[in-house]
Amino acid sequence: MNRYVLFNFKKMKYILILLITVGFGACTKEQDASAVTGSVTFSFNANYGIEAFQPVKAYTYGSKQTIKFSKLDFYITGIELLNNTGSISSDVAALIDLTSSNPSGSTITIPSIKAGSYSGLRFMLGVKSDLNKKLPKDFPSTSALANTSHYWEAWNSFIFSKIEGVFDVENNGNFDLGFAIHTGTDDCLQKIEISKSFEVTENGNIPFLFGMDVQKIFFDGTSMFDFVSSPLNHNPVNIEVLKSFSARMAQSIQLKN
């Protein structure tokens, strides 16, 4: 009986050693690098010159006019994170709404970014060409691109951005001139590229805070845009005007952190 117990003890000792060895092996085994991911978050806010941007707040426009905004939104697509081997693309498309009562309307989180070192990022202000060939019905309802309110058949294009509000032409307290700028078509697509080194770590999040100076969108270098002459700008016949708005909108976005 005792010999039997001793024999089994010896056998168990070998099994134990084997298990410990396997256990160490498992612990030291290199993890699949592609499975190690973190995330990146883009947040947007806006100012109007030196003032914080708020919907329906009155801002001085030029020297003697006043403007209030009721809508300011734009699409972000084609997000890429740049690294030394090229870039990692995300298929996240977002409609950033800086006038929304929902704070999440101005934030995008891009999940499952491979951990590692990055040197910058790139994205499109607007709907990139391959997506813009599609229709809202081609996207699942959860997609920002399923929004029929941001598609215009006359353009065969998504509406990349909407800026709307009212204007006090005489600066007499009567905001009786409505204005709108809606951009769209590939002509208005703008690329934004930022150089910045950052490290994505496992389950970590890298926040990027972007600021938009709304006032800059209307300043062409010499004067503010004349809304009195052209309050509604959304028609393909205005494409040159819309292209310049799109370019200035891209220039008005700066990384703040």
> Where along the sequence are the contacts to another protein (CB under 8 A)?
55-56, 68, 70, 99, 101-102, 135-137, 139-141, 146-149, 151-154, 164-166, 174-176, 178-180, 231-232, 235-237
For another protein, give the closer residue by CB, 53 or 208. Answer: 53
Please state, in angstroms and as integers, the Cα–Cα distance from residue 198 to each residue in 116, 163, 193, 217, following that order: 8, 33, 15, 29
For another protein, give the closer residue by CB, 102 or 197. Answer: 102
The CB-of-183 to another protein minimum distance in angstroms stands at 14
The CB-of-43 to another protein minimum distance in angstroms stands at 19
d(CA 198, CA 119): 6
Q: Which amino acid is at 240?
A: E
For another protein, give the closer residue by CB, 177 or 255. Answer: 177
Q: Which residues contact 212 (CB under 8 A, 6 or more apart)?
A: 44, 45, 46, 47, 53, 98, 249, 252, 253, 254
For another protein, give the closer residue by CB, 120 or 231. Answer: 231
d(CA 21, CA 29): 12
For another protein, give the closer residue by CB, 79 or 181. Answer: 181
The CB-of-199 to another protein minimum distance in angstroms stands at 38
Dihedrals phi, psi of 201, to nearest 5 degrees: -110, 165
For another protein, give the closer residue by CB, 31 or 149. Answer: 149
The CB-of-105 to another protein minimum distance in angstroms stands at 11
The CB-of-163 to another protein minimum distance in angstroms stands at 10
The CB-of-195 to another protein minimum distance in angstroms stands at 36
Give all strands (DSSP E) within the chain, no chain letters: 37-48, 51-52, 59-61, 65-83, 86-89, 94-97, 107-114, 116-125, 151-152, 157-168, 177-184, 190-200, 205-213, 232-233, 253-255
